[in-house]
Amino acid sequence: MTTPPPHTSDTHTPPPLIAPWRRYHDLTRTATYGFLASLPLLFIYEMMIMLVNSGNTYGVRISAEIWLKRMLGNFGFAGMHILGLLVFLIGVGIFYYERRRHIPIRPKYLGAIIVESSIYAVVLALLISSVVGFIFAMAPSLITEPALLLAPQRAEAGIWTKLALSIGAGIYEELFFRVLLVGGLYWLLKHILPKAVQAYVIAAVVGALLFSAVHYFGSLGDDFTISSFTFRFLFGLALNAVFLIRGFGVAAWTHALYDVMVVTNFFG
């Protein structure tokens, strides 16, 4: 007489449920959502900058965009819109490459990115403004303007030019400073320094210093002040953190929306 096998169940333990906020956080950090979220910024900037430059002998462009175009020129790429087209094509390539991960596309997440970025723009502006005010409270003679800054361009530029450049800064300055500069420095330094965190800190600080400095060059650059430089340096560090934690899409929208808020006098 044989002993019957022990009873087994055909059921299996279901996978643990993921909290909606956690799923949103994880998905929107991917390159797929970074590309999709930045597409409107790229399209709006290119359309607006063509309109504001229409009929002008010398066109206005974001400094970071010009630098990237000069870099491409060294490899034989030239043309007014080559960079925007190349950014778009690279994004499409990344998007289709990540299709193998079966990342779901949820339009409501793209709207949530804009809302989230708006909150970051306001909170970071007020927080960093308070920090700058505290730092310079003991040396008021160094402050020549309010701690909460700072129109990205001088008053000579019209409002539509300012808006176009504000939107363009969101995508091209984040691409140049956060992705290429900080990312490239980190990759280089991590092969030299004993700890990766040291490499990233140095890369982030250097990137933030250059990010702040670039706003004082060019025909639409601001007049240099220590307090405005400090504000932009700290804001650059904050954007590094946003990029690291939340991805390119959120960082680009946070940057663009902050600049738009400044030129429209949202902060008063």
The secondary structure of 118-146 as a DSSP string is: HHHHHHHHHHHHHHHHHHGGG-GGG--S-
* Exposed/middle/buried for residue 243 (C-beta within 10 Å: 0-12, 13-18, 19+): buried
The secondary structure of the chain as a DSSP string is: -PPPPPP--S--PPPPPPPHHHHHHHHHTSHHHHHHHHHHHHHHHHHHHHHHHTT-SS----HHHHHHHHHHHTTT--STTHHHHHHHHHHHHHHHHGGGGT----HHHHHHHHHHHHHHHHHHHHHHHHHHHHHGGG-GGG--S-SS---SS-TTS-HHHHHHHHHHIIIIIIIIIIIIIIHHHHHHHTTTSS-HHHHHHHHHHHHHHHHHHGGGSSTTPPPP-HHHHHHHHHHHHHHHHHHHHH-HHHHHHHHHHHHHHHHTTTT-
Cis peptide leading into residue 150 (ω within 30°): yes
Backbone angles phi, psi at 104, to 5 degrees: -70, 140
Residues 161 and 52 sit within 8 Å (Cβ to Cβ) = yes
Query: For the chain, which ranges sit under pLDDT 50?
Result: 9-10, 14, 142-155
Which pLDDT score, from 0 to 100, does residue 64 have?
77
Cα atoms in the Cβ-side hemisphere of radius 13 Å centred on 185: 20
Look up residue 122 and give its amino acid: V
Which pLDDT score, from 0 to 100, does residue 215 have?
82
CA-to-CA dists, residue 247 to 72, 103, 190, 256, angstroms? 25, 15, 21, 15
Which pLDDT score, from 0 to 100, does residue 152 have?
43
Interatomic CA distance for residues 170 and 244, integer angstroms: 16
